[in-house]
Structure 1
Amino acid sequence: MPEQDPLRARFAAYRGDVTDRIDGPGPDAARRTLRRRRRATVVTGAVAVALVVAPIAAVAALRDAPPPGPSTLTPTAEPTWSPSPGPSPDTSRSPSSPAAPDGRITEQQLRAAALDLPAWAGRNCADTTRVTLLPATTGEVDRPYLISVTHGDVDADGATETLALLGCRIGEASAKQVVAFDRDAAGRIVTLGRVARTHEEGDGGFENVRAVAVADGKVRVQVADIQPCCSIPAYWARQQWRTYGWDGERFAQTGGPTTWGRDSRLTDLAISAGPFVLGPADERGRLQGTVTLTVINRGPLDADRVAFQHMEAFGTPDGGDWNRCEPARVQPEWPSCLTEGVPAGERRSWTFRFRLGPEGLQAGLSVWLVHYGTDYRYWPDLTPGDNRVAVRVDR
């Protein structure tokens, strides 16, 4: 029908235009699409199907549908690629452990708490359970007291712990120990463990703790082999720094000396004596007596000076080698005679004369030998058993 020719012509033109728009992609378009797919980390199947199927379906629909009116379609933007998000967090994992509690404890807080203490060595100190520490000024015996505290991370947990130097008096001296304290998650003070204590048996034992420090996660303890008291001079003591570390269960020594060895300041002296020989009485009834003392130095050191003590019981000095004795100095416990020394490996003798009154002699005469230095300090002997001699009296 001729009246339909205009419609057919319009429809044919429109169909040609649409067909050009929806024809499948050519090689260039396919390569671009492939590159996009290679770059993408995740492309869903639905998108791929839509990109391929949609143009074909559109062609079929247009071919079967009645001629449309003017086009109202707007071009759809080409799909853009975005990287897929990373894997979601694993919510089944437990959160990281909380920070370790702060174990910095003051002296006041320690003294206010009821503490469980490690046992003391060789001392009958009070109960070690639920102990309340006394101040360092206490005069009570057999009761633990707090001397000092220091702080540092000693168990490698990233938090600070407290090191306490504790004492327990026994007369003038005290047993001592270094104890580490911490806090639990609830903030309560807990005993981490003992670092070191005095009066342990063996060559490595010590009788005093002089200082405590923390460095590089280790506990450093200054110990001494002697605790000055009861007229024992402080200079007799030898000091060592020993290092202790936490092994997860207890503290153990990890550095420093483990024994004391022989004191290099001491030597081995021995004394012997002849009889105390009494002569006849003079017109006033007084007696004269003479005794000879011999000193041997077995070494290893020279003795700068030697002293004889308790010779007052023999009587009043009355000649002989008293002139070899140094005049008395103003200081307590000056010996009866302080005289020249004896080199190592040698022996020397002194003869002393005394004048005795009519009252006669005291019973049990004896002489003690003591090693002195040039600075007037006196020293113990390596073998003190032969530093005293009993003197027999001959009439």
Structure 2
Amino acid sequence: MSDLDPLLRERLGAYRNDVISQVAGPGPDKARQLLRRRRRMTAAAAAAAVVLGVTPVVVNAALHADRTPPVPVESVPPPTPSTSAPPTPTPTGSPTQTPTPTAPTGPNGRISRAQLLATTVDLPNWPSGMAEGGCTISDVRLKTNTKKTYVSELADNEFEYGDVDGDGADETIAIVACRYGEASAKQVVAFERNSDDRIVTVGRVVRTDDEFKDILAAEITSTGSVQVTVADIVPCCEIPDYIRREQVRTYEWNGQRFEQTDGPTKFGPDPRLTDLRVSMTHELAEVPGADTRRELTLVFTVTNAGPVDAPQVAFHNIERGERAGGDWARCKPAKLSDTDELGCLLPGVPAGESRRYTFVQLIPVQPGADASTRSFLVLHGDAQDRTWPDLKPDDNTVPSPIQF
């Protein structure tokens, strides 16, 4: 071995002693020092994990003195406090869609009364016989309050405006009439403007016919349907208003014409009326002494064939002389519809029963120049002293046996 061997051996021995001391482990003091150092490292690692928001894997590695650096998982930093209002939470479910209005496809059809009167229009057909009488339908210039017969005119009702045919533009609803006497035929008509701004007819909503006799009003609803108030009779010709019945019927445009979609379709028999039937006997007697009058006794038998009670019974055309007995003392004045003629109103007849009524009066022996043979009329009266038509009027009259 060379001269350097002693020196090399010395160095190798020192190195060996140092390695042996490391393998053998430190003494008690060194061990305590190492333990304190590890505890400080463990605490620092745990604190760093809390502050930095590291995952449990990193904390666990630090606690176990894992010398392999863990790969940190990306973490979300804590939110910065804000003084602004919290955002509005997003609602669950489908959001409500605001419908977009349909753009009008036709010109504005709002027409004033003056504009309609200033032009000519074509009208839907009138009921059978009206056109022949003079109620025209082509190039008609409408009038107002003419009081003439067979002239087409505007009724006094206010116009209605709304989209009745679904084109997005308004139309005009008006009631037109044609007089044929004291009454008038009527129809509800829809008007609009065409592309040339000319007033044209959309169609007829409804008209009077054999089923109902009068149209009182028309109104456009929010959905574009037309509600029409109709009546079964026209309150004219001495017919009182209280007898009239009314109904509201709804009509809608089906693309070609208006059709009824709601409301009653018929009036049917009037449930307020009943069927009275009358028969009569009479007796004519001379008055003793020099009296130039005779005594006439009329006995009426009234049967109520139903279906409703008649609270009172009204007799008309029976008085021509001086009242002399019988049921005259119980009479209340009975007005015949809207005329000024009065009769005798007496307690009535329940349905299915009969009652007898007697009237005695003195009449001249020789009838006057204005004497005539007349018919006696019996009508159903209600509790309000009003008289009503009969379901079968043909058996409500009997002829007088004599002229007076």
* TM-score, reference length from structure 1: 0.70
Equivalents in 1 of 2:219, 2:239: separation in Å?
Answer: 27
Given candidates 359, 363, 378, the residue that maps to 1:369 is 378
Equivalents in 2 of 1:276, 1:336: separation in Å?
Answer: 21
Change (3 A) 1:342 1:328: closer
Cα shift at 1:125: 3.6
Cα deviation 1:113-140 (Å, max 9, x = unaligned): 11011111132343211111102x2212
Structure 1 stretches of 4+ moved >6 Å: none
What is the correspondence of 1:273-312 to structure 2 with a 5 Å cutoff? 273-279=280-286, 282-312=289-319
Cα deviation 1:232-269 (Å, max 9, x = unaligned): 11111100001111111111111111111111111111
Equivalents in 1 of 2:363, 2:162: separation in Å?
Answer: 68
Larger radius of gyration: 2
Note the residue ranges of structure 1 that are not aligned, 5 or more in a row: 1-95
Cα shift at 1:358: 3.3
**Counterpart residue number, 1:130:** 139
Cα shift at 1:280: 5.0
Q: Identity of aligned pairs, percent?
A: 45
Match of 1:108, SS state, is: helix
What is the correspondence of 1:1-395 to structure 2 with a 5 Å cutoff? 99-122=105-128, 123=130, 124-135=133-144, 137-147=145-155, 148=157, 149-199=159-209, 201=210, 205-215=211-221, 216-279=223-286, 282-313=289-320, 315-326=321-332, 333-360=340-367, 362-393=371-402
- Decide whether the 8 Å contact of 1:273 with 1:391 is kept in 2: no
**Counterpart residue number, 2:85:** none
- Decide whether the 8 Å contact of 1:287 with 1:357 is kept in 2: yes
Cα shift at 1:305: 0.9
Give, as a single letter, the amino acid of the residue that structure 2 aligns with 1:316: E
Cα deviation 1:285-333 (Å, max 9, x = unaligned): 22112121111011111111111100124x221112212212679x953
Equivalents in 1 of 2:359, 2:328: separation in Å?
Answer: 6
Give, as a single letter, the amino acid of the residue that structure 1 aligns with 2:401: R
- Decide whether the 8 Å contact of 1:281 with 1:288 is kept in 2: no
Equivalents in 2 of 1:320, 1:98: separation in Å?
Answer: 76
**Counterpart residue number, 2:71:** none
Change (3 A) 1:187 1:370: same
**Counterpart residue number, 1:15:** none
Give, as a single letter, the amino acid of the residue that structure 1 aligns with 2:180: I
Cα deviation 1:8-55 (Å, max 9, x = unaligned): xxxxxxxxxxxxxxxxxxxxxxxxxxxxxxxxxxxxxxxxxxxxxxxx
Note the residue ranges of structure 2 that are not aligned, 5 or more in a row: 1-101
- Decide whether the 8 Å contact of 2:373 with 2:402 is kept in 1: no
Give, as a single letter, the amino acid of the residue that structure 2 aligns with 1:153: D
Match of 1:353, SS state, is: strand
Match of 1:109, SS state, is: helix
Equivalents in 1 of 2:237, 2:388: separation in Å?
Answer: 15
Equivalents in 1 of 2:364, 2:402: separation in Å?
Answer: 16
Match of 2:394, SS state, is: helix
Give, as a single letter, the amino acid of the residue that structure 2 aligns with 1:141: T
- Decide whether the 8 Å contact of 1:222 with 1:239 is kept in 2: yes
Equivalents in 2 of 1:228, 1:120: separation in Å?
Answer: 21
Change (3 A) 1:140 1:327: closer
Equivalents in 1 of 2:239, 2:286: separation in Å?
Answer: 40
Match of 1:260, SS state, is: coil
Cα deviation 1:194-239 (Å, max 9, x = unaligned): 111112x3xxx21000000011111110000001111111111100
Equivalents in 2 of 1:98, 1:233: separation in Å?
Answer: 46
Cα shift at 1:187: 1.1
Q: Provide the alpha-carbon RMSD of the alignment.
A: 2.2
- Decide whether the 8 Å contact of 2:192 with 2:200 is kept in 1: yes
